């Protein structure tokens, strides 16, 4: 796959869909890569010039010394779009990708035409939770990533879905096991330190909030908080856990397409 050279390494991306169509960027969650959007790619690329990328520290993108910052991840998106000659774009991000989307909506409003914030929060988790995870991953490396893979099944998917769709679940959690421990820990710090609670009203792009009824990581209450504080934001909730785009693939795709095409 192609890549764009940043100041400190290469950012991996995939560009699909008709040239000249409006651009839609998809941003992955912590511990996955651009393939987490495979269920949406075909439908999205029919209507949009679809740009997927591996966030710094993930997939085939650069892994640099941490800790990372959310503004660093956001500026990577701007550098990627600048390199590809993209002035404006719609942006859809899940979890950490949703944090990147919030940063872009607040700090680069002239670039963002529409914003979809999925299974995310203005502030995700607590410093204690993230510090413990960072310490574990830094101490145990690849073994810690394998342990996180197994633990994440219950956070990312409801039990009935995990039981009914083991191959789809295995494909997603394998991304976590294959993620660079250094990159993962560095991005844990970025998520830990990101806090947009007091500045959400700066987002001016039309925004859709997507939540999962059974999401214990970023709860429906977190989604409602975003909706209430982002002017004019819409809200939809699916009977899913954290990765609603995978668990509710068709319904997710159609709802997001309806919003982006409005």
Candidates 115, 116, 74, 109; CA nearest to 244 is 116
User: What's the total number of domains in the chain?
Assistant: 1
Contact present, 220 and 212 (Cβ < 8 Å): yes
Collapsing DSSP to helix, strand or coil, 65 comes out as coil
**What is the domain extent for residue 15?**
3-260
- CA 75-215-160 angle, 5° bins: 130
Partnered with residue 59 across adjacent β-strands are none
Q: Work out the mean pLDDT of the chain and round it to a whole number.
A: 97
Contact present, 30 and 187 (Cβ < 8 Å): yes
Residue 91 makes CB contacts below 8 A (sequence gap 6+) with 24, 25, 27, 77, 100, 101, 104, 105, 112, 114, 115, 116
Q: Which two tokens stand for residue 83?
A: 């390199």
Collapsing DSSP to helix, strand or coil, 144 comes out as helix
Per-residue confidence band for 1, with pLDDT thresholds at 50, 70 and 90: confident
Residue identified by tokens 């668990």 is 247
Contact present, 239 and 248 (Cβ < 8 Å): yes
Q: Which helix (H) or strand (E) holds 5?
A: strand 3-6
CATH number of residue 126's parent domain? 3.40.50.1820
- CA 65-91-252 angle, 5° bins: 110
pLDDT in tens, 186-245: 999 999 999 999 999 999 999 999 999 999 999 999 999 999 999 999 999 999 999 999
pLDDT in tens, 84-100: 999 999 999 999 999 99
pTM of the model: 0.98
Residue 252 makes CB contacts below 8 A (sequence gap 6+) with 39, 40, 210, 238, 244, 245
**Confidence (pLDDT) at 247:** 98
Distance, in Å, from the CA atom of 177 to the CA atom of 100, rounded to the nearest integer, reads 22
Per-residue confidence band for 22, with pLDDT thresholds at 50, 70 and 90: very high
Per-residue confidence band for 163, with pLDDT thresholds at 50, 70 and 90: very high
């Amino acid at each position: 796959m192609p890549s764009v050279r940043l100041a400190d390494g290469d950012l991996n991306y995939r560009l699909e869909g008709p040239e000249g169509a409006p651009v839609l960027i998809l941003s992955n969650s912590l511990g996955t890569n651009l393939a987490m959007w495979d269920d949406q790619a075909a439908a999205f690329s029919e209507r949009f010039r679809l740009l997927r990328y591996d966030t710094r520290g993930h997939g085939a993108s650069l892994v640099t010394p941490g800790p990372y910052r959310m503004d660093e991840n956001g500026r990577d998106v701007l550098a990627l779009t600048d390199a590809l000659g993209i002035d404006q774009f719609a942006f859809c991000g899940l979890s950490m990708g949703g944090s990147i989307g919030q940063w872009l909506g607040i700090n680069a409003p002239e670039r963002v035409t529409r914003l979809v914030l999925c299974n995310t929060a203005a502030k995700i988790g607590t410093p204690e939770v993230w510090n413990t995870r960072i310490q574990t991953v830094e101490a145990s490396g690849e073994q810690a990533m394998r342990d996180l893979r197994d633990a994440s099944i219950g956070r990312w998917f409801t039990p009935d879905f995990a039981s009914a769709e083991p191959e789809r679940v295995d494909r997603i959690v394998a991304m976590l096991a294959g993620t660079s421990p250094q990159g993962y820990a560095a991005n844990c710090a970025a998520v830990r330190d990101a806090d947009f609670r007091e500045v959400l009203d700066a987002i001016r792009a039309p925004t859709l909030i997507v939540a999962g009824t059974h999401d214990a990581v970023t709860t429906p209450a977190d989604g409602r908080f975003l909706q209430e504080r982002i002017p004019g934001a819409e809200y939809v909730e699916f009977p899913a856990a954290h990765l609603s785009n995978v668990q509710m693939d068709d319904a997710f795709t159609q709802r997001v397409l309806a919003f982006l095409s409005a």
